[in-house]
Structure formats: C-alpha cells, structure tokens
Amino acid sequence: MSTFWSDNLPKLGQMGAAIIIFFAVLAAIFFIASRVNGKKSRPLAILIFLGPAVLLLVFGLLGPAIRTFVLSFKGSASHTWVGFQNYKWLFTDESMRIVLRNTVFWILFTPIVTTGLGLLLAILLDRMRRESIAKSLIFMPMAVSFVGASIVWQFVYKYANPGQPQVGLLSTITKHLGFEPSNWLLTQPLNTFLLMVIFVWSQTGFAMVILSAAIKAVPTDIMEASALDGASGRKLFRWVTFPMVKSTFIVVLATMVVATLKLFDIVRASTGGNFGTSVLSNEMYSEVFIRYDAGRGSAMAIVLFLLVIPVLVYNVYNLRRERSIS
Amino acid sequence: MSILTRKKTSKIAESNAGRKLFGSRGATITVWIIAVLWTIPTLGLFATSFRPKPEISATGWWQVFLHPHLTLANYSAIFSTGNVSGLPNGVLPYFINSFVITIPAVIFPITIATMAAYCLAWVKFRGSDAIFYGIFAMQIVPIQVTLVPLLLLFGNRVSSGIHIGSIHVFPGLHIAGKFLGIWVPHTMFALPLAIYLLHNFIAALPRDLMEAARVDGASHFTIFRRIVLPLSIPAIAAFAIFQFLWVWNDLLVALTFTGGTEGISPLNAQLAGLAGDWGSHWELLTSSAFVTIVVPLIVFFSLQRFFVRGLLAGSVK
C-alpha cells in the first residue's frame, strides 16, 4: 500500500502544481499588462488574449498539417522524395481496397442513419408529455467511451463454438429463432455493419437532443396557422416543420460525417482492424506507429482531410451567411 | 437564449392539435421501446461485472434476473494493489492517471479559449474576422494529420524538433512520455471548438454593459475578469463537460502521446489493450469497463442541463 501511494501521490502533486503555475503566470501577466496605459494597451491586450491560442493552433494544428502534407510525398523514413508513390499505393494496393471500401460504407450509412433516427426520435419526443427519463436513457451512450462501447457490445456479438453455451445476446436470439448463430465479428462484410451499429447506438442520442431542441424552437404560431389552413400530420411535417429544422439537420449530419471519418476507437478496440474491418483512420495509425511508414500514413491522413473539405466549405459558407444576417 | 424562452411557450401549446403527427400514445410507446433497446447492452455489462467468473462463460448475463447470484469479488480484484493478471498494481494507478490527465486538459483549453473568444468578439482589429474563420475551419482538421509532426516536436532525441530542409529551427521540447506531453495536445485539439462555442456566447453579451465599462475606464483585463468571465459561466460549464467527456473517453491521443509509458497511461487506453489480453478474464474486463464508464456518467447526469444548452449555443439558431 505504501509503495502504491509513493508511486501515485506525486502524479496528483504534478497535476496540482501545473494548474497553480498556469494560473499564477496568467495572473502575473494580467497584473503587469493592466498597468500599461495609452496607445500600447490595445495591441498588448490583443497579444495577451489571442496570442496563446494562435500560438498553440499554429504549432499544434496548422504547422503539423502542412508538415504531414510534405511527409506524404516522402518515403517510409522521410529521407527520400517519392512523388505520388504513397497515394498511388493507397488507391491501387489490394489490401487497401477493403479499407477504402469500408470507409465509403461508413460515410454512406452511419451519418444518415444516426441523424435520421435522431430526427425520428425528436419528432416522437415532441409528441410525448413526459420525456425526460427515456430521453436520458437514449442519450446515455454518448457518455460511454467508444472503447467502453466496444466492450459493452461484445456481450451482444459474443459467439461460442457449437456445443458450448451461447452467452452473447445476438447468438442466443438467433438460436431461439431457429437459425445457427455465426461468429459475427469474423463474418465479412457483416462485421463492418455490426461495428456501425455501435456508432449509431452511441451517437443517436446526440442527434436527437440537438434536433429535439430545434423542433421545439419552431414558433408555435406558425404551426397553429398551418393547422388552421388544414395541414396535418405528415403534410405538416413535410412542408412546415422539416424546412424549419433543415439547417440544424444538416449541421448534425455534417458533424456525424466528420465523426465517422475520424473514427478510430471502435474499430481499434473491437477488432483492431482485422477480419476486413479496418478504416482509413485506423489503418493510418497502424501504418505510422506499427509498421513505421510515415510516408504512407501521412498520405492516408491527407486523403482523410480531403474527404472532410466539402463539409468544411459548407460550414464556413453557412457561418458567413449567418453572421451577415445577424 | 431565445430558444429557452420559446421552449416555454411551446410547452404551453403542447396539447395543440397542430403538433399531432403520430398519436401521443404511439409516440410514447415507440420512444420507450427504443430507450429500452438502447439500455440493454449497458445493462449486460453492468450485470456481468457482478457475476462470479465461472457463471459468466456458462450462461448469458440475463440469467442474473432469474437466478440472482451476485458478487463484489470482481471489483475487489481490480482494485487490489497487488498483481492483477498482468497489471502489477491493479487498475487503480490508471484510474488516477485518467484524472491527472483530464482535469488540466479541461482547465487549460477553456481558459485560453475564453480569452481568445473575448478578444475575437469584443476587441476587433484588422484581420480578426479572418482569424475567427481560420480557427472555425480548424475544427475539421483530423487529429491524425497532426500526430507525427507533434511527436517529433515533443521528442527527447537530438533529431527532435522542427526542421526546414536540413536546418534545425526549433529544438525538441523533451515532454514526450510526461503528463505535460498529453495536456498540451489535448489543449491544442480542443481550442477550435471551444473558441467557436464560447465566441457565440460571449458575442451575445449586452453591448451596453461592455461600453459602460469602457467609458468608466476599465481595461480589457478588468472587463474580462469582472464581466465576461462571470457572465460566461453557463457556456464555460457546458464546454467543460464536453471536454471532460472527450478527454476521459479519448483513445487516439492517449495511445499516441503516452508512447507506451505505462506510468502515465489512462484507464481507457489500458482497457483497449486489455480487451485483447484479458480475452478470458471477462470478470476483470467488465468491472474495469464499468469503472471507466461510471465517471463520465456521473459527470454527465449531474450536469446534463448545462451540456445540452452549451451545445445549442453553437448549432441551433
């Protein structure tokens, strides 16, 4: 027990010290800078308020992104220039074909299923009188890490050889329905879809909460006026509610596309990318940190980035429009 | 803010026939069916973590409701400070690491982001809009893009640091394998979303208040401390929860920047590895997983209201 604390107390000490130092430095800077008057005070304030963030972003995101772009044209140890070799390999290699196929599957299905289901739930919630507990239960998986989620779902997908008792939920249900359960996570390409279910399970609550708030924000008088004009049920939703929440729907959809592309944890923790389940972001990690090929890994990261660019352009376009209105 | 007031008016009008799309009863039943379906997997994990080892592989976890036979042995096993199936001190050190990583990784970016958001919203200067759009755009950069160069920057070797061609322009920071080496990337990656959300909130603060303070001769630092910070607490709290969940549940940053240093690895990253190594130790895996899950659940359920409101500041107009 004593070695335990002598090992672990210093860590907590480090944490406390880091926080105290951080705020002490900040307080000192604020104190000194607020004494400065006159012409220099404004530029100084800008420097102090914005400087740390800009510095961290340039060193942490912008610089590395540019550097990765450069590395993607270099060989595995980054010594020689190889031109588009890494990209050519990425799009022609046999093993990469499955990775790209899976990535496309993920982008095509998960965002739309998650957001669609979230919208359906948001509409249903709008009709309910008491919603809080059910809503919280559906939102709860959002707080569970993808690693935790992968372990949670192993109890659904678990499979035992014939003759041994099935303890997985899916296997048991299949057996009771009279079919022979299969080894779910080894069956291609079914396993990729089973992993997608984990994502949908985890993120639907998020989509639901955001869309639910958007539906509630639709002004009641518009709804009443349309109802008086004879619109009802599906028609009301199609022509009144949906157009009013459309922009939120697209924002959530875009968020899901980005989350899907960055997705790493579910694949890593469930199958490690084996059995034909790997996706670009997982393969990129394996390439750099397991096979030590920074060139190919960087090329994958760049492809990932290119895939996100349409979402980015759309978001910036939207943001500019919103800002110019308000 | 307007959403909240509108929400109230719509609550009053909820019985309004115009909202009818599905029958109220049908809606309630459908939502509850989905809610139950959504809860079953987690319930399975929870139930399994209290079952004795031989039973876990013999019968399905739902048997627990028919033949309740529960034990706390799994939990006392993982929390013992002796050797637990390959982990020299059980899971407790990693649990502590998770806190040591997460708390500063929440405090640092929020402080820096609030400052930047105030500046971008209220201390406008030539180019401040361009910087705002630039930061907003960075939300989308996949973290994967930044890993290799950042690792080189943080490294301890002579070759670490930043090179342009063969010229060494910046030395390695020697923080790889230390807690600082995880706090810094988490801070960097959190900034774009944090600045964007907080900017939305801070920009909506009353203009009169800010101008009155300026007229009274208050410096930007005074305004920030006395006005902006106290008024932004709801948005700050919301982002704090978001960032807490994100860092606590993160795997990619943890795997990359702990660089195999066991002493600073968080529980979630350990768990990902154990899922393979402990293939036959379901009793340990489930109880450890539940310990990892329970902390964000507590944070989330106790602060749920802030969380939802804070996210809305960014996504619903």
- Within a 10 A sphere around the Cβ of A323, how many other Cβ atoms? 12
What pLDDT was estimated at residue B19?
A: 47
Rounded to a whole number, what is the distance in Å from the CA of B227 to chain A's nearest CA? 15
B40, B149, B272 member nearest A67 (Cβ): B149
Task: Give A-chain residues touching B136 at CB under 8 angstroms.
Answer: 315-316, 319
> Checking phi first, is residue B195 left (phi over 0); if not, alpha (psi -120 to 50) or beta?
alpha
Higher pLDDT, A308 or A322: A308
Rounded to a whole number, what is the distance in Å from the CA of A94 to chain B's nearest CA? 23
Q: Is A9 on the interface with B (CB under 8 A)?
A: no
What pLDDT was estimated at residue B14?
A: 43
- CATH 1.10.3720.10 maps onto chain B at 87-315
- Answer whether residue A310 shows pLDDT above 50: yes
Q: Is B248 on the interface with A (CB under 8 A)?
A: yes
Task: Give A-chain residues touching B115 at CB under 8 angstroms.
Answer: 48-50, 52-53
What pLDDT was estimated at residue B195?
A: 92
Task: Give B-chain residues touching A90 at CB under 8 angstroms.
Answer: none
Across the range A145-163, mean pLDDT stands at: 82
pLDDT, tens digit (0-9, with 9 covering 90-100), for B174-206:
777 788 989 999 999 999 989 988 888 888 888
Q: Which of A46, A55, A57 to mutate to test the interface with B (most CBs of B within 10 A)?
A: A57
Answer whether B93 sits within 8 Å of A7, measured CB to CB.
Answer: yes
Orientation of helix A190-216 relative to helix A132-139, angle to 10°: 140
Q: Is B182 on the interface with A (CB under 8 A)?
A: no
Q: Is A38 on the interface with B (CB under 8 A)?
A: no
In CATH, which of 1.10.443.10, 3.20.130.10, 3.40.190.10, 1.10.3720.10 is domain B87-315?
Answer: 1.10.3720.10
Q: Is B148 on the interface with A (CB under 8 A)?
A: yes
Across the range A51-66, mean pLDDT stands at: 91
Q: How confident is the model at residue A126 (pLDDT cuts 50, 70, 90)?
A: confident
Strand, helix or coil for residue A276: coil
Q: How confident is the model at residue A131 (pLDDT cuts 50, 70, 90)?
A: low
Answer whether B144 sits within 8 Å of A48, measured CB to CB.
Answer: no
From residue B193, alpha-carbon distances to A57, A144, B135 in Å are: 12, 21, 8
Amino acid found at B211: E
- Answer whether residue A178 shows pLDDT above 90: no
Q: Measuring CA to CA, which residue among A264, A203, A58, A281 is closest to residue B245?
A: A203
Rounded to a whole number, what is the distance in Å from the CA of B67 to chain A's nearest CA? 15
CB-based contact B129:A43 (threshold 8 Å): no
- Does ipTM top 0.90? no
Q: How confident is the model at residue A164 (pLDDT cuts 50, 70, 90)?
A: confident
Beta bridge partners of B170: B162
Tokens of B78: 């993982």
Higher pLDDT, A253 or A188: A253
Task: Give B-chain residues touching A12 at CB under 8 angstroms.
Answer: 96, 99-100
- Find, in chain B, the residue whose alpha carbon is nearest to that of A5: B93
**Rounded CA gap, A73 and A84, in Å?**
6
Main-chain phi, psi angles of A72, to 5 degrees: -70, -10
What pLDDT was estimated at residue B46?
A: 86
What's the mean pLDDT when you consider all of chain A? 84
What pLDDT was estimated at residue B16?
A: 45
Residue ranges of chain B with per-residue pLDDT less than 70: 1-23, 82-88, 156-172, 260, 276-280, 307-317
Task: Give B-chain residues touching A136 at CB under 8 angstroms.
Answer: 301, 304
pLDDT, tens digit (0-9, with 9 covering 90-100), for B229-277:
998 888 888 888 889 988 998 888 888 888 767 788 898 888 887 776 6
Q: How confident is the model at residue A50 (pLDDT cuts 50, 70, 90)?
A: very high
pLDDT, tens digit (0-9, with 9 covering 90-100), for A64-117:
888 888 888 988 777 788 888 889 998 998 888 989 999 999 988 999 999 999
pLDDT, tens digit (0-9, with 9 covering 90-100), for A209-236:
888 888 877 777 777 777 777 766 677 7
